[in-house]
A and B are shown apart, each in its own frame.
Chain A
Amino acid sequence: MNLTLKVWRQRNPSEKGGFKTYKISGISADMSFLEMLDVLNEDLSDKGEDPVHFDHDCREGICGMCSLYINGQPHGPHQTTTCQLHMRSFKDGDTITIEPWRANAFPIVKDLVVDRSSFDRIIQSGGYVSVNTGGVPDANEIPIPKVIADESFDAATCIGCGACVAACKNASAMLFVSAKISQLALLPQGKVEKRERAEKMVAQMDKEGFGACTNTGACSAECPKEIKLSNIARMNREYFSASLSTENV
Chain B
Amino acid sequence: MKLDSKIPSGPLAEKWTKHKFNVKLVNPANKRKYEIIVVGTGLAGASAAASLAELGYNVKAFCFQDSPRRAHSIAAQGGINAAKNYQNDGDSVFRLFYDTIKGGDYRSREGNVFRLAEVSVNIIDQCVAQGVPFAREYGGLLANRSFGGAQVSRTFYARGQTGQQLLLGAYSALSRQVANGKVKLYPRTEMMDVVVVDGKARGIITRNLITGAIESHSAHAVLLCTGGYGNVFFLSTNAMGSNVTAAWRAHKKGAFFSNPCYTQIHPTCIPVSGDHQSKLTLMSESLRNDGRVWVPKTREMAEKLRKKEIAPKDIKEEERDYYLETKYPSFGNLVPRDVASRNAKYVCDEGRGVNETGEAVFLDFRDAIKRDGEDAVRGKYGNLFDMYQQITGENPYQTPMKIYPAVHYTMGGLWVDYNLMTSVPGLYALGEANFSDHGANRLGASALMQGLADGYFVAPYTVGDYLANLPYEKIAEDHPEFKKAEEEVKARVKQLLTINGDKTVDHFHKKLGKIMWNHCGMARNAAGLTKAKEMIRSLKEEFWSNVKVLGTGEELNLSLEKAHRVADFLELGELMIDDALHRNESCGGHFRDEYQTPEGEALRDDENFAYVAAWEYQGDGKDEVLHKEELVFENVKLTQRSYK
Contact = CB atoms under 8 A, between A and B. Distances in A.
Contacts of A59: 239-240, 278-279, 281
Interface residues of B, number: 80
Contact of A133 (B74, B273, B457): B457
Closest CB pairs A-B (n = 6)? A143-B140, A128-B172, A136-B129, A153-B133, A139-B128, A133-B51
Contacts of B240: 56-59
A208 B126 CA distance: 31
A71 interface: no
Contacts of A28: 274, 276
B44 to A, nearest CB: 13
Interface stretch (A92-100, A183-191, A211-219): A183-191
A190 B65 contact: no
A34 interface: yes
Contacts of A184: 131
A62 interface: yes
A116 interface: yes
B464 to A, nearest CB: 13
24 contacts: A31-B274, A38-B506, A51-B550, A53-B556, A58-B72, A59-B281, A60-B387, A62-B74, A63-B65, A64-B69, A120-B178, A124-B175, A129-B131, A133-B47, A136-B129, A139-B84, A140-B86, A143-B140, A144-B136, A146-B140, A149-B140, A153-B165, A184-B131, A189-B130
Contacts of B135: 149
Interface in A96-128: 109-110, 113, 115-117, 119-120, 123-128
B496 to A, nearest CB: 14
Contact of B72 (A57, A127, A131, A160): A57
Contact of B126 (A12, A64, A134): A134
Given A109-B556, A133-B51, A134-B122, A57 B239 contact: yes
A160 B140 contact: no
Interface string B259-294: 000000000000001101111011000000000000
B241 A146 contact: no
A22 B281 CA distance: 29
Nearest to B86: A140
A146 B131 contact: no
A138 B173 contact: no
Contacts of A172: none
B556 A110 contact: yes
Given A32-B278, A144-B136, 9 more contacts: A53-B558, A57-B70, A58-B70, A63-B70, A116-B66, A124-B179, A128-B131, A139-B125, A144-B140
B393 interface: yes
A42 to B, nearest CB: 6
B69 A160 contact: yes
B171 interface: yes
* Size bracket, chain A contacts: 35 or more
A45 interface: yes
A45 B84 CA distance: 54
A51 B561 CA distance: 13
Contacts of A64: 69-70
A125 B175 CA distance: 8
A190 B131 contact: yes
A189 B131 contact: yes
Contacts of B210: 109
B137 interface: yes
A88 to B, nearest CB: 6
A140 B142 contact: yes
B391 interface: yes
A131 B309 CA distance: 60
B463 interface: no
Given A64-B69, A187-B131, A136 B125 contact: yes
Contacts of B556: 53, 109-110, 113
Most B-side CB within 10 Å, residue of A80, A126, A139: A139
